[in-house]
Amino acid sequence: MSSLAGTSNQHDLIDSNPSAKIERIRLEPPKPKGLPREKVEAILKAIPGAKKRDRLLFRLIFETGLRAGEALALHIEDLELAQDDERIYVLGKGNRRRTVLLDDPVLVKQLRAYLKATGYKHGALFRAEKNGRGGPIRYQSVQELWAGYCRKAGVECTLHQLRHSHATELVNGGVGLETIRKRLGHKNMQTTLRYAEQSDAVADAEMRAWRRRQRG
């Protein structure tokens, strides 16, 4: 229809193209969908204990909200392991650097055990095991590994949903949106606000608790 109107306009059959006045429909981006901690933990539990790299990699993404690509780009030199103040330096989108606190004790314990077992002193934190060469692990390989562990656990979860799950957990736990924005490496607060609606259940619970106190 629009092409016909445009052609007619070009040949002076009509004064203007009526379709040019139609506003384009802009679709809202899909809402982030996180998983409850118990479901993520079920997947992490399905990873064999001998697979220390995989257990650390996927827990790191879940407990910090890193993008998978950011996690795979980490080097030993990006770690700061002062006792009780462990953190990582991340290079995110747009070459923006940020510091992410490693505040989960299980994650920190796994990280220290992994470094001790591998003996890594410098270079990539997560390396391929093929042929024992220890080269960089590919993103596609990581996706395939994660999909396999999900099937084993009987839980549907994409790799990127680990990041969403972390953000949703923080929102529901009452962590401020500005703190979440910085932790996830969002450039704009608008991106972080997409997670705000995930806390409706918590907000409802708070309102009910407030109402009970008022009546009491």
pLDDT in tens, 132-188: 466 779 999 999 999 999 999 999 999 999 999 999 898 888 888 889 899 999 888
11 part of the active site? no
pLDDT of residue 27: 45
Taking alpha carbons only, the member of 56, 54, 38 closest to residue 149 is: 54
Which class for 165: exposed (0-12), middle (13-18), buried (19 or more C-beta within 10 A)?
buried
At which residue do the structure tokens 């040949």 appear?
Answer: 11
Taking alpha carbons only, the member of 41, 67, 78 closest to residue 191 is: 67
Q: In the β-sheet with 97-101, what is the strand arrangement from edge to edge? A: 79-80, 87-91, 97-101
Residues 109-124: b if buried by 16+ CB within 10 A, e if exposed: ebbeebbeeeebeeeb
List the catalytic residue out of 55, 59, 163, 183.
163
195 part of the active site? yes
Taking alpha carbons only, the member of 167, 146, 155, 156 closest to residue 66 is: 167
List the catalytic residue out of 93, 97, 112, 116.
93
Taking alpha carbons only, the member of 168, 36, 166, 39 closest to residue 104 is: 166
Instruction: Choose the most confident range, by mean pLDDT, from 19-23, 31-35, 158-162.
Output: 158-162
93 part of the active site? yes
d(CA 203, CA 170): 14
87 part of the active site? no
Element housing 100 (H / E): strand 97-101
The residues near 198 (Cβ < 8 Å, ≥ 6 apart) are 31, 32, 34, 167, 168, 171, 172
**Mean residue pLDDT across the chain:** 83
pLDDT of residue 59: 98
pLDDT of residue 50: 95
* pLDDT band, residue 4 (cuts 50/70/90): very low
Taking alpha carbons only, the member of 41, 120, 133, 33 closest to residue 76 is: 120
121 part of the active site? no
Q: Flag whether pLDDT at 51 surpasses 70.
A: yes
67 part of the active site? yes
Q: Flag whether pLDDT at 207 surpasses 80.
A: no
The residues near 39 (Cβ < 8 Å, ≥ 6 apart) are 155, 157
Residues 53-62: b if buried by 16+ CB within 10 A, e if exposed: bbbbbbbbbb
Question: Helix (H, G, I), strand (E, B), or coil: what is residue 36?
Answer: coil
List the catalytic residue out of 114, 166, 183, 195.
195
